[in-house]
A and B are shown apart, each in its own frame.
Chain A
Amino acid sequence: MKMMGSQAVMESLVQAGVKIVFGYPGGAIMPIYDALYDYQDKIKHVLVRHEQGAAHAAEGYARACGKPGVCFATSGPGATNLVTGIADAMLDSVPIVCITGQVTSALIGSDAFQEADVIGVTTPITKWNYQIIKAAEIPEVLAKAFHIATTGRPGPVVIDITKDAQFGRLDFFYPKKVTIASYNPNLFPHPKQIELAAELLNNAKRPYVLFGHGVLIAKAEKELRTLIEKGGLPAAATLHGISALPADHPLYVGFLGMHGNYGPNVLSNKADVVLAVGMRFDDRVTGRLKDYLPRAKIIHIDIDPAELNKNVKTYIPIVADAKIALQELTQKIKKNHHRPWLAEFRKCDQLEMTKVIKNESYPRAGQIKMAEVITMLSEKTKGRAIIVVDVGQHQMVAARYYKPVLADSFITSGGMGTMGFALPAGMGAKFAAPEREVIVVCGDGGFQMNIQELATIAQEQIPLKIIILNNSYLGMVRQWQELFFNKRYSSTRLQNPDFIQIAKGFYIKGEKVQDRSDLSLALSRLIKAKTPYLLEIMVEKEGNVFPMVPSGASVEEIRLE
C-alpha cells in the first residue's frame, strides 16, 4: 500500500497493537499529528501539558499493563523534555517507545531552528535509538523498536524521524516478525545451573529469596509463589518487587533496602543461600557491599548477563527469563520447610511492630502521620488498588505500609528516584487499567514537579485519585539533614500554594484534611469518587522514616530509631 511516511507511522503503531499515545505536537512532528487525525478511532492521543509528563505516563501505562507505552514529541525542546522520563525508563527497565520529530534531513547539523541532537542526547539512556531519514524505513524500524523495547530486559527506545521522512512516500509493509541477528535474549536457563541451584537450595539451612521487578516483567508471580511454597522459602521484595507476591502471603517477609523492613535487612547476613530473581543488587538494597551477605552462596537469575557478578559475587549465575527459570527450578527442588528460620523473621517483625509500626500506623495523639494514612488506605482498598507513588519519605512509607495483594500494583520511580513521576505515571496507569482503582501518592514537593498534568487529567476526565502528603518540607532531604548534617535545614522548607484552590482552578475536586478525626471519611470519599479527586493531607512536619540503613552502612547496622 502506498502512503506517506507520517501515515506509515500511524499504521505501524496500529500494527504493533498500540491503543494510546501520550504526546505534545510541534513543528517537526506536525505531519504525524496530521496523520493521527485520521486514526483517532484506532489510537487515542492524550495531550499532556509537558513532554516529561508524556514519558512518565507512557511508563505508568507500561508498568500497569505490561504493554509498551508510546509517546510523541516534537524536535528540539520537545525531545529534550522527554529526557528525564527516558532515563527513568532505562534504569527501571520499562518498555517505552518515544517518537520524536526532527528537522528536515538537509538541515541536520546546521543548528537549524529547534534542532537538537536527539540521538546524541539519548544514546546513553536508551536501550536503542535510531534516526529515520527515509520514509521507506519507517515500518521496519518501528517494528524493530517495539521488538527491542519489549523483549529481553525491557527499556526505552527513541525513534527520531525527520520531517522530510514524514512527508516522503513509501510502499507500506509491516514485518510480522522481527529478527536481529545480534540480539537474541537468552530465555532458557542452563539445565546444569538449575540443577546446581536446586541442590544448593535443598541443602540450605537458611535459604532466602530476594525478588525484584524482573518477576513482574516476566509475569512470573505464580511461578515465584509455587517455588517458595514448595521449598518453604522466606521471600523479600525489592522496591520494584513489591506486589509480585501478595503482601499477606505467609512466606512474604517484607521489603528490602534502606527504609525496608527490619527482618529482611538484618537477617540477610544470616542467610546461607540466597536466590535473587529479577533484581540487580542496587546499592539501596545492599548497603555497604563488602559486608553484604557474608555467609551466603548466591544464585542469581536475570535476563541481562551484565547484571550477574556486577555488584555481588555470584555462586550460580543463571541467565534466563524469570518465569522459565523459576518453573524449572521448582521442579528440581524438594518439598521442604524452614519454620525456625521463618520464625526469626517473624520475631524481627514483632520488634519492628513495637518499636516502629504501632506508633506510626496507629498513633493516638499529635499530627497525622504518613504511615497512618497509608495504613488506612491499604485497609480501605483491601490492598487492591494500584498505588503510584512519587519520590521521598512518602514513597518509602507507601512501600512499607501499603499491602498490595494484586500484581503490578505498586508503581514508583526506583532507579532514578524521579520526583514528579507519580502524577503523570498514575495517569498512564489509569489508562492501562481503567477498571482498577488507581491512587497517586505524592509529596508536597514532587507534586509541584509535574503539577501541570492536572489539566490533562481534567480534560480526559479520568477518575484518578491523588493524595498529597503535605509535610511542608522536602521531607526526605530534611530527614538526612536532621540525621547527618546537624539539623541544618538548608533549602528544604516549602511554602506551598493552596493545593485545593489549584485543583479547583484545574476543575478538579479536592479537599484538605488536617484533623485525624476527618481522615477516615475523607479517604472514603476519595475512593468513592467517580471523578478525579485530590486529597491534601497535612501530616507531621518533621516525621522521620525508620528503620533506616544509613548510607554507607551495612544492612546489619539498620536503625530502628
Chain B
Amino acid sequence: MKHLSTITVFSQNTPGVLYRIADLFLRRKINIESLTVSEIELPGQSRFTITVRADGDLVEKVVKQLYRIIEVSKVVDSLDHELIFKELSFIKVHTKDAAARHELERLAQMSGAKITYVTGRFLVIEKAGTEEEINNIYQLLKPYGIKEFVRSGRIAVFKE
C-alpha cells in the first residue's frame, strides 16, 4: 500500500550525493514529492529531507540501497506521527482594491500566516505549516486570484 514516507538522509556534504540519491528513486520509479537539503549542526554534513508516496516495502529497499552511497552515514524512514514537520510557502495574491486587501489581511491572520510584502496591486503572504495547512490557505486565497505560489518542501526533526 502506498503511503507518505519522510526519508531523512545524513551525508557528507560533497558534490554528487544528491545525484546518487535522486537516481535511486528514479530507478525504482518513485516520484519524489519534496526534497530539501541543508548543512546541519555538524560541519561538512548535510541533511536531506525527502518525502515520497510509495509502497512501504519498496521504500525499505531504497533505504537500504541509499546506504550503498559512500558518503551517506544514516538513513531514517519515518511516518508523520514520529516527526515535527513543516514547510514554508509564499503566496502572491492580487488585491483589486483596499477592501480586498483588508479581507486578505484578515484571512491571513485567521490562518496564522504573515503578510511579508505589500504593493498597490498585490501582497505576498507567508505561511509556514504542514502540507495540509498550506493547502487550506491556498484554497481560501484562490478566489482572489493567485499570481504566484511556491512552497519549500518539508523539513522535519524527530520527536524521539
Contacts and interface: CB of A to CB of B under 8 A. Distances in A.
Interface in B127-152: none
B23 A310 contact: no
Nearest to B64: A306
A306 to B, nearest CB: 4
Contacts of A119: 16
Interface in B29-73: 60-61, 64-65, 67-68, 70-73
Contact of A148 (B12, B20, B27, B70): B70
Interface in B6-25: 11-12, 16, 19-20, 23
Nearest to A308: B64
A180 interface: yes
Interface in B66-95: 67-68, 70-73
Interface in A448-475: none
Contact of A306 (B65, B71, B73): B65
Given A182-B12, A182-B73, A310-B61, A123 B20 contact: yes
A119 B20 CA distance: 11
Interface in A172-221: 180-183
A522 to B, nearest CB: 47
The size bracket of the interface on B is 10 to 19
Contact of B73 (A129, A181, A309, A310): A181
Contacts of A308: 64
Contacts of A282: none
A306 B73 CA distance: 15
B23 A182 contact: no
Given A306-B61, A306-B64, A306-B65, A124 B71 contact: no
Given A123-B16, A123-B19, A123-B20, A305 B64 contact: yes
A129 to B, nearest CB: 7
Contacts of B19: 120, 123
A130 B19 CA distance: 13
A308 B65 CA distance: 11
Interface in A125-140: 127-130
Contacts of A129: 16
Interface in A142-186: 148, 180-183
Nearest to B27: A124
Contacts of A127: 68, 70
A328 interface: no
Contacts of B12: 181-182
Nearest to B14: A130
Most B CB within 10 A of own CB, among A148, A182, A304: A182
B68 A182 contact: no
A131 to B, nearest CB: 8
Nearest to B65: A306
Nearest to A180: B70
A351 B27 CA distance: 43
A123 B16 CA distance: 8
Nearest to A311: B61
A306 B70 contact: no
A59 to B, nearest CB: 20
Contact of B70 (A124, A183, A304, A305): A183
A128 B23 contact: no
Contacts of B60: 309
B90 to A, nearest CB: 31
Nearest to A181: B73
Contacts of B68: 127, 304, 306
A305 B23 contact: no
Nearest to A182: B73
B23 A123 contact: yes
B77 to A, nearest CB: 14
A123 B14 CA distance: 14
Nearest to A153: B68
A119 B16 CA distance: 8
Contact of A182 (B27, B64, B65, B71): B71
B74 to A, nearest CB: 8
Given A127-B70, A183-B71, 17 more contacts: A119-B16, A123-B16, A123-B20, A123-B23, A124-B23, A180-B70, A181-B12, A182-B12, A182-B71, A182-B73, A305-B64, A305-B67, A306-B61, A306-B64, A306-B67, A309-B61, A310-B64
10 closest A-B pairs by beta carbon, nearest first, are A182-B73, A306-B64, A306-B65, A128-B70, A183-B70, A124-B23, A305-B64, A123-B19, A182-B71, A306-B68
